Amino acid sequence: MARPREFDEQDVIAKATDLFRRRGYNATSVRDLGAELRLKQSSLYRAFNDKRTLFLRTLDHYRATESTQAEEQLSAPGPSLEVLREWLIWMISHEAGRGCFVVNTAAELGTTDPEVRQRTEAAFEVTRRTLASLLRRGIRDGDLPAALDVDAAVELLFTTVLGLRVRERAGHDPQRLAAAIDFTIKTLATSAT
C-alpha cells in the first residue's frame, strides 16, 4: 500500500514556482528543489515524475494566478488609460526584481521546448486579448481616439510590457521605467493613426 503524501502539493508547486522564477529552469537542480521544498528527491519523483513535469506545473500555476490577476486589473472600472497606467506601474513595482516567470521562461526555453512555448504563447495571447479589450473600451468611452489602430497599439503595448519586465528584472531605475510608461500612455492618448 502506498504511503499518503506528507506535503501539500499546491504549496510545493507554489514554492517551486518561486524557485524556478528566481533561478530559471536550467540553473535549478533537483537537489535545489529538494532543499527549497524540504522534500527528498524520491518524494519529488513520486509526486511529479521529473523536474520538467514539475516545471510545467509551476508554469501553469503561475499563469493561473498571475495572469488572472493581470486580467482582473486591466478589467477594472475607470478611465482606460488610468487603468492601464496603474497596471503597468504595479507590474514594475510588484515584482521586486524577479521579473515575470512567463517572460523569463520564454527567454530561456521558448524556442527549444514546444510545450513551454505553447504555454508562454498562450499567456502572451491572454495579455494581448486583455489589452485589446481595454483599448476598445477606451475608444468606446472616448478616452482614446476613435481612429486608434487597436492591433498596432496592442503590439506596441505588448512589446513595452515585455521590455519593462526585462528591465525590471535587470534592476533598472523604477523612475525611468515609470517615465517610459507615462510616455507610452501619452502616445496612446494622442495617437490618431
- Per-residue pLDDT tens digits for 128-172: 999 999 999 999 999 999 999 999 999 999 999 999 999 998 999
- Return the pLDDT at 68: 81
- Return the pLDDT at 155: 96
In this structure, is residue 11 part of a structural domain?
no
In this structure, is residue 25 part of a structural domain?
no
pLDDT above 70 for 192 = no
Q: Which amino acid is at 123?
A: A
In this structure, is residue 164 part of a structural domain?
yes
Whether the full predicted model's pTM is greater than 0.85, yes or no, is: yes
Q: Each residue of 23-33: pLDDT tens digit?
A: 999 999 999 99
In this structure, is residue 127 part of a structural domain?
yes
In this structure, is residue 34 part of a structural domain?
no
pLDDT above 60 for 4 = no
111 three-state secondary structure: coil
List Cα–Cα distances, 80 to 35, 59, 75, 94, in angstroms: 45, 29, 9, 20
For the chain, what is the domain count?
1
Domain range for 155: 57-190
In this structure, is residue 185 part of a structural domain?
yes
